Structure 1
Amino acid sequence: MHLVDHPARRRLNDALENLSVTFHGMTAHPDEYNCDCHWGSAEELSLLKTPDVELDPDLLRRTWKAVDWTDHAAVLRRILPQFATVLVAGRADPLFGLEEAGCSFARARWQQWPDDQAGPVREFLHAWWVQSLTDPDAAVPAHEVFAMCAEASGTLRPWLADWEEQTGSLSDRRLAEAVAEWEYELLGDSLPWSADWYEHDEEQMRAELVAWLLGHAAVRLRASGASADLRHRIRLLGLTGEARWTDPHWPGHRY
């Protein structure tokens, strides 16, 4: 199937187009300011107050990563069509992980925006997440998109629900890949990405992810023929303390 014919890709393209229409003409607040020593020049700042002018990649990166905008929501709305396209293409280039981009969404409190703005953002996140699970040509690994969506929304529930609905062999493979990426941190009782937004409950997120892996994911991976080693590492998440690290299948991690 050609890339543009993939149903998840069509949905994602529609979502990106809707972002462009919804946030056309948006600008940062006229009085917005940032430090010209640490963020950028007055000329660059003026571009954020000019609608629909494409930013160069470095300026876009500095803009979404900055934590000290007076009106972060207005700044995100200004850059969102271009930012979303860059995210989907795997060109966001975060310093540590894609959850940093999710934190930029969280700082903007997009879920509190009017429905005609929050709705397109929500659809974009869901469309991108499903595409990462089902499109063999997805540019960004599914586990990174998952962390981004979790940080953007402050919850795992809608993204886990999407995963449960996507039961094909590729989605199962994405599940196995995610577990392989996450098991070290999870077996050390840590969330496998950095929850940077102060309102997010990192421990609650970790507990919810572990419960889902022990339940839905364990059954699904067993049915899909995942390796015994991987399934044991999920099983170990249900043990605590000495029972976990003295288990015969403990992988020997040191923390």
Structure 2
Amino acid sequence: MADPHQLLHDALNVLDATFASHAELPIAVGGCTYCYGEADLEALAGPVREIPQELISHVAHEVPDHWDDFPGLYRKLTPRIVRRLVADGLIHDMVASRLLTAGWRNWTAPERTALENVWHAWWRSVLSTHPSTGSVIDVLETLAVTTGTLAPWLAIWSETRTEAADLHLSDALDWWLIEDGLADLHLGFYDEVHATPELLPWLLSLEDSRIGAAQLMEVERISYS
């Protein structure tokens, strides 16, 4: 069986290659000169590989109205942003929301496919190891918000019958059950995804052995209240 971490490494390399045709081309970048100096704007207009990592991180979180062409800039920086995200160096829900605003679902088919392949490889990589780089709930939130659904990611979790995947499930439930959060759970920086309608039936469909008795009791109480 292929190593999930190697598959993620390969998917990230494909993402780089897919975006390379325009990522290294200079583009006109206009932005907020109060927050970004001339040197920053010049760097963002140049080849992606030469942009300082700190600047990439700032742009990844920045509000869209700071840029004259936010969709174009975010698209150009996506491979660098995603690599930093996978390394747990960015705020997951914020980046997911920014990708939606950038209109990633309307990019070229190869670009969309390359990004989706990273999402799948990243999810399987996280579920394969416990503890993992980054929180499982943060990763799931990124995937659900960018794709608009929890269904495919929960299906993969169901299929992954390993100790690591079940430990991640316990960790996630510890968080989701705080103050009955699971009863009305929204994901995304702007609460783009209402997770409860998908999460509760999925949790109840799992074999009892995958959820501890105390956690299962709470899930059932929320579901039937």
TM-score (norm 1): 0.78
- SS of residue matched to 1:53: helix
Partner deviation per Cα, 1:220-243 (whole Å, 9 max, x = no partner): xx224x432111111122123xxx
Q: CA deviation at 1:50?
A: 0.9
Structure 2 residue corresponding to 1:206, chosen from 190, 196, 201: 196
Whether 2:34 is the aligned partner of 1:37: answer: yes
Q: CA deviation at 1:180?
A: 0.9
Whether 2:67 is the aligned partner of 1:82: answer: no
Contact 1:29 1:74 in 2 (8 A): no
- SS of residue matched to 1:138: coil
Q: Distance in 1 between matches of 2:117 and 2:202?
A: 23
Structure 1 residue corresponding to 2:139, chosen from 142, 145, 151: 145
Contact 1:27 1:51 in 2 (8 A): yes
- Change over 3 Å in CA distance of 1:144–1:28 after alignment to 2: farther
Counterpart of 1:73, as a letter, is P
Higher relative contact order (CA 8 A, sep 6+): 2
Counterpart of 1:51, as a letter, is P
Q: CA deviation at 1:42?
A: 2.2
For the pair shown, which has the larger CA radius of gyration, 1 or 2? 1
Contact 2:4 2:125 in 1 (8 A): yes
Aligned length: 222
- Quote the residue 2:5 is aligned against: 9
Q: CA deviation at 1:137?
A: 6.0
Q: Distance in 2 between matches of 1:162 and 1:231?
A: 20
Query: RMSD between aligned alpha carbons?
Result: 2.4
Partner deviation per Cα, 1:87-107 (whole Å, 9 max, x = no partner): 121122x3xxx2111112211
Counterpart of 1:233, as a letter, is E
Task: After TM superposition, list the pairs within 5 Å mapping 1:21-100 onto structure 2.
Answer: 21-24=17-20, 25-26=22-23, 30-38=27-35, 40-66=36-62, 67-68=64-65, 69-92=67-90, 94=91, 98-100=92-94
- Quote the residue 1:111 is aligned against: 105
Q: CA deviation at 1:153?
A: 1.7
- Change over 3 Å in CA distance of 1:120–1:185 after alignment to 2: farther
Identity %: 23
- Quote the residue 2:96 is aligned against: 102
Q: After alignment, is 114-123 or 185-194 more displaced?
A: 185-194
Counterpart of 1:77, as a letter, is R
Structure 2 residue corresponding to 1:232, chosen from 211, 217, 220: 217
Please, which runs of 5 or more residues in structure 2 have no aligned partner? none
Q: Distance in 1 between matches of 2:130 and 2:6?
A: 14
- SS of residue matched to 1:91: coil
- Quote the residue 1:163 is aligned against: 157
TM-score (norm 2): 0.87
Contact 1:104 1:152 in 2 (8 A): no
